[in-house]
Amino acid sequence: MTRHVLLVARSVTHHGGHDAVHRLAATVGAARGVPVRACFLDGAEPSLHAALDTAVAEAAGDVLLVPAHLPPDRYLDTWIRRAIAHWRQTRGDDLPIAVTAPLAGQPALADAVAQAIAGAHAPLTGNPGPFRSPSWSQITRHRRHVLVCRGPRCTAYGAGDVAAALGDRLAEHRLGDDDVLVTATGCLFPCNLGPLVVVHPDDTWYTGVDPHTAVRIADEHLRDGRPVDDRPSRPAG
């Protein structure tokens, strides 16, 4: 039976950051000759839940989790334990799962920084213009602002598929940022009702959203202007 290793990371905001974590996993996997994959507690795919489902589907003997966030993230360590408990409860699976010490606490990390300091240096040159490009002064004239929660619980409940379905449907309708501005957020607090999609200025909270409902929100609310009224949406206040 094969051990599967999962690098568990947090969401990163910069472009390409998630791909870099996937590449790190692939490099380690090739070097160690074992399956090593990346997954994310929030904000990116695959979620920890989805990665564990894959490990089960591939008949993993056990799973070793590596908290792979830099700098150290106490939140990540706490949440891995909670997410594993929820996955076991909802899947009814007794797959052995263990966790390593956080990557951020490994002594080799200090060695890597020392090697970088001792290694080659590249002088920095460049034009400061793009730092203050006029584009970054324009407020979009969107009619509606949609918040898609990508916090850890909503991510575990399937927010990644919801965000993808919503984005694809809005693209089909050619509703861009000037019509509907979609923003992925951190936790919006009523986690037990997730995945959450919130539409402003209507103040409409859609709870327990799945990809099918996300498509209906795009069609009925965001394109046609009628809230999806047979859904458990909850106007705030």
| Nearest C-alpha neighbor of 10 from the set 46, 43, 45, 52 | 43
Segment 185-204, which members bind ligand FES (CB under 6 A)?
187-191, 194, 196
Element housing 81 (H / E): helix 74-91
In angstroms, give the least distance from the CB of 155 to ligand FES.
7
Whether residue 85 contacts residue 97, with contact meaning beta carbons closer than 8 Å, is answered with no
In angstroms, give the least distance from the CB of 170 to ligand FES.
20
Number of residues that bind ligand FES (CB under 6 A): 12
| Region of 114-122, 132-140, 169-177, 182-190 interacting with ligand FES (CB under 6 A) | 182-190
How big is the CA angle at 53 (ends 49 and 58), to the nearest 5 degrees? 145
16 burial (CB, 10 Å; 0-12 / 13-18 / 19+) is exposed
Contact call for residue 76 and ligand FES (CB under 6 A) = no
Of 60 and 76, the one with the shorter C-beta distance to ligand FES is 76
Residue at shortest CB range from ligand FES: 151
Whether residue 166 contacts residue 148, with contact meaning beta carbons closer than 8 Å, is answered with yes
In angstroms, give the least distance from the CB of 56 to ligand FES.
24
> Which residues bind to ligand FES, rule: CB under 6 A?
149, 151-154, 187-191, 194, 196
